[in-house]
Amino acid sequence: MQKKTVRSAPTRDLVVEKLEHYLNSPECPQNGCLPGEDSLAEMCGVSRKTLRSALDILAERGVVDRIRGKGTFKVLTYERQKKVIYYFLPCANYEKYAGITSATHIMETLNGLMLATRGTGTYIVPLHYSQSNRPDDPDWEVLNMIEPGAMVFIGGMWYRRCFSFLRRRSCKVLFLNMLDLSIFHPDNAPYMDDINSFHQLRIDNFTGVRNCADTLMKHGCRKLFLAAASLGDITNPLLPGYLKSGGKAYWSCDQELSLDILRDELARQYRKFQFDGLILGCGVEFPSDSRFTLRRYLGLPEEVRLIFYYKNPTVLALDRKQPYVCCDYRRICREGVEILLDGYHPEIQRRQFKPHIENLEYL
């Protein structure tokens, strides 16, 4: 009588089981980035060829994500994915380098996200995008902490070099944009496919600055003047919106700005254009003196009406009676978090938020 031989499970299947146990154990790195193939093969006691075959099976099951040139990453479960939203900061000292306006935008967005996730069991994890504070020099060691399938909130084109990286990892990306990317720009062209794969929230600065101009004209202003940053960028919708409303004179304040420079330049522009309505959208650092008012410091005549085109907390604290245009970052972040957690459909949804004007009664 012949003995029946019991065939053992193939080595590959045993390695798959061992890897699955490892992925669910505390030894697996929290960022989901697995050790190299040599280390994994040694841990499993098999050759690299057998290990790769096992990893291919796990990749087909959606358990891991293999990215060429980057490594192998554990795909988060839905419950784990809902616990973390990554938010990029330019660098460790971004407040020093970003400028007042950009730093305010970053902080308001971060605070809005933290408020929006309160009580949801989801946490905001800020990541420093670049050690050198340059958009084309991302810190890949930090970016590799982002697991495949993770949720990421991006606040603009500054972080463009990581777009394709996040797309390859199938991340759920919420892209907050303040530019008009429908205008062709050679610098943006390589990133448009990636951006179109993200869920986009767009701040409608075109309409916002038109509202400013229309408001000033309703209050009797006939000679408008716009002072704002980056007006030379064709994707910046501020200037087209301003010109569409009938404005003509403007100044693009792209240099490092101080109060003295702003005062001297506006005085020079006033002598040249004699404007009676000013839209001010450039960031400067204001003194902490509670008696300080920008209008008095700038020395503008009383008949010149002024609207701030950004919500700078320092300005509001020191000059509360000035009308200003602001974006409701709390609302934007709240809706953004809801989209990431429950309704992420980048190919369908594009939300647009119109800035609104406050304190009109003081015009």
Which of residues 205 and 32 earns the better pLDDT score? 205
**Ranked by mean pLDDT, which of 96-110, 139-153, 344-358 comes out on top?**
139-153
> 273-305, pLDDT tens digit by residue?
999 999 998 767 667 666 777 777 888 888 899
Architecture category of domain 205-326 in CATH: 3-Layer(aba) Sandwich (3.40)
Closest C-alpha to 253, from 173, 292, 309: 309
Closest C-alpha to 117, from 157, 32, 174, 35: 174
Architecture category of domain 11-75 in CATH: Orthogonal Bundle (1.10)
Question: Is the domain 81-203+330-353 a CATH 1.10.3720.10 member?
Answer: no
For residue 7, pLDDT beyond 50 = no
Domain boundaries in the chain? 11-75, 81-203+330-353, 205-326
Give the Cα-Cα-Cα angle 119, 115, 202 (nearest 5 degrees): 125
The residue-averaged pLDDT of 161-190 equals 89
The answer to whether 263 touches 297, Cβ cutoff 8 Å, is yes
pLDDT at 114: 92
How far is C-alpha 314 from the chain's CA centre? 22
Query: To the nearest whole number, what is the mean pLDDT of the chain?
Result: 83
Which of residues 302 and 9 earns the better pLDDT score? 302
- Same CATH fold, 205-326 and 81-203+330-353? yes
pLDDT at 11: 81
Which of residues 337 and 326 earns the better pLDDT score? 337
For the chain, percent helix, then strand, then coil, each to nearest 5? Answer: 40, 20, 40
Q: Please tell me the least confidently modeled range out of 22-26, 175-179, 245-249.
A: 22-26
Closest C-alpha to 287, from 307, 306, 315: 315
pTM: 0.73
